[in-house]
């Protein structure tokens, strides 16, 4: 046994990196390693002899583990002395994060710095939280604009907007609060270069005293500049959304044609990037929040289009298909 441990000690001492150390560990302590092979050989020995040999092998195992730990520490100290910052063993890299994930993470970090909490909500939603609590009753004409995919009409559906999480949040949290919630939404839409029936929303809401439209526009402007730089060209148009009053929509100058008009922006020179507005007093009332005391703003950004602009992707279908045309732009 002494001879065995001395030999093993020499082998471990010759290992100069993590891969070499791991090879020795597997050789002796792996499931098919030598220690387990030796243990299997004593299974037919008399009980007393088996007991003694078992104890000796267990001590050997502990000694090997200790020697491996010491060698790992020694190798690590040598690398540190040489000023090497790389880990002992780098796993090979396969694939990359999806550009939507990269952009979502980047926006999450921004809103965390702004004091927003991050939430998630169900993708299968009820009519109450997807429509009614957002000031869209059963007979409201805005329902025709939603192109809803129902699972059980009229009660159960795939959420058409991230505002459904906002509706739930308003009933659960006491103001003041700020929250953001990225997620997938679904609409029965025709596939084009800039539209998809499955797409991603980045929804945000804030409720506090004395909030104004200026706070809302300043927040959205900050996201634009954070992703695209200080010289980004943006415009805001008056828009109608039942859950907000007043409502607006931020547009980004088309990155493909620089405002001249093309098939991506349908000839307008601008890409609609989402919708926003000050939360309607009736929506606050339905959630039990006093609109005379509290004000709120909400925004829903079409995350897929933000990703397209960030990585110069000219067809939204690329994001959910097997085409990795965007890959050279991902780090």
139/34 Cα distance (integer angstroms): 76
Mean pLDDT throughout 257-274?
91
Please state the φ and ψ torsions of residue 175, each to the nearest 5 degrees.
-70, 155
The CB density around residue 265, as the number of other CB atoms within 10 Å, is: 22
314/329 Cα distance (integer angstroms): 13
pLDDT at 243: 93
More confident residue, 6 or 167: 167
Edge-to-edge strand list for the sheet holding 150-152: 124-126, 156-158, 150-152
204/181 Cα distance (integer angstroms): 6
pLDDT tens digits for 15-53?
877 778 888 888 888 877 887 787 777 777 787 777 777
pLDDT tens digits for 271-326?
999 999 999 999 999 999 999 999 999 999 999 999 989 988 888 877 877 666 55
Write the DSSP symbol of residue 118. Answer: E
Going by pLDDT thresholds of 50, 70 and 90, the confidence category of residue 212 is: very high
pLDDT at 314: 84
Comparing C-alpha atoms, which of 291, 289, 119, 116 is closest to residue 211?
291
Mean pLDDT throughout 75-102?
63
288/270 Cα distance (integer angstroms): 38
Whether the predicted pLDDT of 70 surpasses 50: yes
Write the DSSP symbol of residue 177. Answer: E
pLDDT at 2: 47
Measure the CA dihedral 242/244/246/248, to 10°.
Answer: -90
Q: Are 122 and 159 in contact (CB under 8 A)?
A: yes
Whether the predicted pLDDT of 178 surpasses 60: yes
Q: Are 137 and 254 in contact (CB under 8 A)?
A: no
Helix, strand or coil for residue 131? coil
Q: Are 42 and 60 in contact (CB under 8 A)?
A: no
Whether the predicted pLDDT of 90 surpasses 70: no
319/195 Cα distance (integer angstroms): 11
Strand partners of residue 180: 118, 204
pLDDT tens digits for 109-168?
999 999 999 988 889 999 899 989 998 887 777 666 667 888 888 889 888 888 999 999
Whether the predicted pLDDT of 250 surpasses 90: yes
Range in 59-73, 251-265, 273-287 with the lowest mean pLDDT: 59-73
Chain mean pLDDT for the chain: 84
């Amino acid at each position: 046994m002494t001879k065995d441990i001395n030999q093993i000690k020499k082998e471990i001492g010759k290992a100069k990196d993590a891969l070499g150390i791991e090879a020795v560990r597997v050789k002796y302590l792996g499931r098919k390693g030598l220690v387990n092979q030796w243990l299997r050989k004593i299974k037919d020995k008399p009980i007393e002899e088996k007991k003694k040999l078992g104890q000796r092998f267990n001590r050997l195992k502990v000694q090997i583990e200790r020697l491996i730990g010491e060698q790992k520490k020694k190798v690590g100290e040598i690398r540190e002395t040489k000023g090497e910052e790389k880990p002992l063993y780098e796993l090979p890299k396969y694939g990359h994060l999806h550009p939507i994930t990269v952009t979502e993470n980047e926006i999450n970090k921004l809103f965390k710095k702004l004091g927003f909490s991050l939430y998630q909500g169900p993708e299968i939603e009820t009519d109450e939280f997807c429509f009614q609590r957002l000031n869209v009753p059963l007979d409201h004409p805005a329902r025709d604009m939603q192109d809803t995919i129902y699972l059980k009409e009229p009660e159960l559906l795939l959420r058409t907007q991230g505002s459904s999480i906002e509706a739930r949040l308003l009933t659960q949290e006491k103001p003041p609060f700020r929250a953001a919630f990225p997620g997938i939404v679904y609409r029965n839409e025709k596939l084009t270069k800039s539209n998809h029936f499955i797409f991603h929303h980045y929804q945000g809401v804030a409720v506090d005293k004395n909030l104004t439209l200026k706070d809302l526009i300043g927040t959205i402007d900050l996201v634009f500049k954070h992703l695209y730089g200080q010289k980004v060209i943006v415009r805001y148009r008056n828009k109608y959304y039942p859950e907000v009053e007043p409502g607006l929509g931020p547009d980004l100058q088309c990155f493909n044609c620089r405002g001249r008009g093309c098939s991506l922006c349908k000839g307008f020179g601008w890409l609609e990037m989402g919708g926003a507005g000050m939360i309607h007093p009736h929506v606050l009332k339905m959630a039990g929040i006093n609109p005379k005391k509290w004000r709120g703003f909400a925004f829903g950004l079409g995350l897929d289009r933000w990703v397209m602009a960030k990585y110069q992707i000219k067809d939204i279908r690329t994001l959910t298909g097997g085409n990795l045309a965007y890959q050279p732009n991902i780090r």
